[in-house]
Structure 1
Amino acid sequence: MTDDAGSLTPRQLRAWMAFLSAGHLVDHEIERQLKRDGGLSHPEFEVLVKLRVAEGHRLRMSDLARQAMISKSRLTYQITQLERAGLVKRTGCESDRRSVWAELTPEGAAALDRVRPGHRRVVRESLIEVLTPEEIDLLGDALTRVADRLRER
């Protein structure tokens, strides 16, 4: 006897496969644009954006890892690459000697300024313009619920 408790219905499987396909294809388009316009990877771009919106354009590495939803070791790699490119600098934390700040440099801000117009264009062309306003709302609500559930774990 087979245990089908974990099986997906055809409808559910179609939604899952469409989610995977669309996610990979949109990510690929974004990655290509970021590389072409600024020599950045998608994770590097996300780190720079998190720093850009942070107070003082800096975050503790542990907070940045949480916000960027990547492991500390992966973040260390990303920050090392960004630091070599002069887009980020690391400094010690005065109030907690165990902590390290990651800070956006003026060059990092300029790199973001270079890639953002193309990034917005790709997001619009790949996702936003394909959907109706109602579908955008539905997608936003649904994926927010998914993210909230996973964050609770």
Structure 2
Amino acid sequence: MAPSKDPTWLNGNEKEAWTGLVSLMLLLPGKLEAPLRDVDLTLFEYLTLSHLSEAPDRRIRMSELAFLTNGSLSRLSNVVKRFEQRGWVTRSTDPDDGRYTLAHLTEDGYRLVVEAAPIHVRAVRELVLDPLSPTDLRALARIADKLRVVHPNLEKAPRDGRRS
């Protein structure tokens, strides 16, 4: 986006919406992460394990996992390396295409997700879902879809969430 010489300043409604969004972006992750400290996980780590637990056979390509967690491959690789050291994940070459690496959730990793999931869901309900009406939830989903940001190093997934 090229900067214009004279910016169009925010009006009161726009400023209120923008500062509300910034507050959510900056404060909500920490509030969602705090309860996960009970199981020694960050929010990113929990999301990584959660997506692995939902994948077929608890196995997924690292590039797909990076897309789902909104993380870079290097960040994800560092997290998965720590998970390997803890016995929660293993990595292997994709037998269908040797150019890709698969991450596989172990039984110990799955047990951790089962332990952490109720903690995370309680926080999500308390901090995000319960304060909203059904109309608010639909609006939030519409807004999130319109503002969806895709990592520049990863292809954009179709709006239905499936990827080729």
Q: Normalising by structure 2, what TM-score? A: 0.82
- Give the match's secondary structure for 2:102: strand
- Give the match's secondary structure for 2:130: helix
Does residue 79 in structure 1 map to residue 83 in structure 2? no
After superposing on structure 2, the runs of 4+ consecutive aligned residues of structure 1 that deviate more than 3 Å are: none
**Residue correspondence of structure 1 range 37-52 to structure 2 within 5 A:** 38-52=39-53
CA–CA distance in 2 between the matches of 1:26 and 1:68? 16
- Give the match's secondary structure for 1:28: helix
Q: How far off its partner does 1:95 sit?
A: 2.9
Q: How far off its partner does 1:26 sit?
A: 2.3
CA–CA distance in 2 between the matches of 1:11 and 1:52? 41
| CA deviation string 1:68-111 (max 9, x = no partner) | 22111111111112112211111122232232110111111111
Q: CA RMSD in A?
A: 1.6
Does residue 104 in structure 1 map to residue 105 in structure 2? yes
Alignment-derived partner of residue 61 in structure 2: 60
Alignment-derived partner of residue 129 in structure 2: 128
Alignment-derived partner of residue 6 in structure 2: 3
Give the partner amino acid of 2:35.
Q
Q: How far off its partner does 1:22 sit?
A: 2.5
Larger % of helix: which?
A: 1
CA–CA distance in 2 between the matches of 1:16 and 1:54? 35
Aligned residues: 147
- Give the match's secondary structure for 2:60: strand
Does residue 18 in structure 1 map to residue 20 in structure 2? yes
Q: Normalising by structure 1, what TM-score? A: 0.87
CA–CA distance in 2 between the matches of 1:134 and 1:97? 46
| CA deviation string 1:36-56 (max 9, x = no partner) | 1x1111111111111111111
What residue ranges of structure 1 are gaps of 5+ in the alignment?
none
CA–CA distance in 1 between the matches of 2:63 and 2:50? 16
What residue ranges of structure 2 are gaps of 5+ in the alignment?
151-155, 157-164
